Amino acid sequence: RLKPFPKDFLWGASSSAYQVEGASLEDGKGPSCQDVKEIPEGTSDLKVCADQYHRYKEDIALMAEMGFKSYRFSIAWTRILPKGTGEVNPKGIEYYNNLINECLKYGIEPIITMFHFDMPATLDERGSWGNPDSVQWFVDFARILYENYGDRVKYWLTINEQNVLTLSGPVIGTLHLPENCTNVLKEIYQQNHHMLVAQAKAMVLCHEMLPNAKIGPAPNISLVYPATCKPEDVIAAQNFNAIRNWLYLDMAVYGIYNAIVWSWLEENDATPTFVPGDKEAMKNAHPDFIGFNYYNTATVAASDLDAAEETALMGDQQSGREMAGIFKQVDNPNLPKTEFGWEIDPVGFRATTREMYSRYHLPLLVTENGLGAYDTLTEDGKVHDAYRIHYYQDHIRQIQESISDGTEFLGYNPWSAIDLISTHEGMVKRYGFIYVDRDEFDLKTLDRFRKDSFYWYKKVIASNGED
The residues that are catalytic are 368
CA triple 416-170-129, angle to 5 deg = 95
Q: How many residues bind ligand BGP (CB under 6 A)?
A: 15
Residue whose C-beta lies closest to ligand BGP: 422
CB of 43 to ligand BGP, least distance (A): 10
CB of 218 to ligand BGP, least distance (A): 8
Q: Does 244 bind ligand BGP (CB under 6 A)?
A: no
Q: Does 160 bind ligand BGP (CB under 6 A)?
A: yes
CA triple 433-428-318, angle to 5 deg = 90
Distance of CA 3 to the CA centre of its chain: 28
Q: Which residue, 19 or 78, has its beta carbon nearer to ligand BGP?
A: 19
Q: Does 166 bind ligand BGP (CB under 6 A)?
A: no
CB of 293 to ligand BGP, least distance (A): 6
What is the DSSP annotation of 284-319? Answer: H---SSEEEE-S--EEEE-----GGG--SS--STTS
CB of 361 to ligand BGP, least distance (A): 25
Give, as one character, the DSSP assignment of residue 74.
E
Q: Does 113 bind ligand BGP (CB under 6 A)?
A: no
| Residue from 35, 51, 161, 401 binding ligand BGP (CB under 6 A) | 161
| Alpha helices in 215-308, H assignment, sequence order | 231-241, 247-249, 259-267, 278-284
Q: Does 415 bind ligand BGP (CB under 6 A)?
A: yes
Q: Does 16 bind ligand BGP (CB under 6 A)?
A: yes
CB of 69 to ligand BGP, least distance (A): 21
Instruction: Determine the interface stretch with ligand BGP among 79-87, 131-139, 400-408, 416-424 (rule: CB under 6 A).
Output: 416-424
Give which of 465, 449, 445, 448 is closest to 457, Cα–Cα: 465
What is the DSSP annotation of 353-422? Answer: HHHHHHHH---EEEEE----B-----TTS----HHHHHHHHHHHHHHHHHHHTT--EEEE--B-SB---B
Angle between helices 386-404 and 346-360 (to 10 degrees): 30
Q: Which residue, 302 or 428, has its beta carbon nearer to ligand BGP?
A: 428
Q: Which residue, 176 or 430, has its beta carbon nearer to ligand BGP?
A: 430
CA triple 12-13-16, angle to 5 deg = 140
Q: Does 424 bind ligand BGP (CB under 6 A)?
A: yes
Residues near 317 by beta carbon (within 8 Å), at least 6 away in sequence: 164, 167, 168, 220, 295
Q: Does 171 bind ligand BGP (CB under 6 A)?
A: no
Q: Which residue, 338 or 398, has its beta carbon nearer to ligand BGP?
A: 338
159 forms beta bridges with 115
CB of 166 to ligand BGP, least distance (A): 13
Q: Which residue, 110 or 372, has its beta carbon nearer to ligand BGP?
A: 372
Q: Does 368 bind ligand BGP (CB under 6 A)?
A: yes
Instruction: Determine the interface stretch with ligand BGP among 4-12, 178-186, 264-272, 415-423 (rule: CB under 6 A).
Output: 415-423
CB of 241 to ligand BGP, least distance (A): 18
Q: Which residue, 363 or 372, has its beta carbon nearer to ligand BGP?
A: 372
Measured CA to CA in angstroms, residue 374 lies from 167, 188, 369, 440, 452 at distances of: 27, 34, 17, 12, 14
Binding-residue pattern over the window 210 to 239 for ligand BGP, x denoting contact by CB under 6 A: ----------x-------------------
Give, as one character, the DSSP assignment of residue 426.
B
Q: Which residue, 355 or 425, has its beta carbon nearer to ligand BGP?
A: 425
Q: 3-state DSSP call for residue 155?
A: strand
Distance of CA 378 to the CA centre of its chain: 31
110 forms beta bridges with 71
CB of 124 to ligand BGP, least distance (A): 18
Contact (CB, 8 A) for 412 and 12: yes
448 forms beta bridges with 436
Q: Does 297 bind ligand BGP (CB under 6 A)?
A: no
Q: Does 292 bind ligand BGP (CB under 6 A)?
A: no
Instruction: Determine the interface stretch with ligand BGP among 87-95, 157-165, 203-211, 440-448 (rule: CB under 6 A).
Output: 157-165
| Residue from 145, 164, 251, 427 binding ligand BGP (CB under 6 A) | 164
Asked if the peptide bond before residue 404 counts as cis, ω within 30 degrees of 0, the response is no
Instruction: Determine the interface stretch with ligand BGP among 82-90, 156-164, 252-260, 401-409 (rule: CB under 6 A).
Output: 156-164
Residues near ligand BGP (CB under 6 A) are 16, 19, 160-161, 164, 220, 293, 368, 372, 415, 422-425, 429
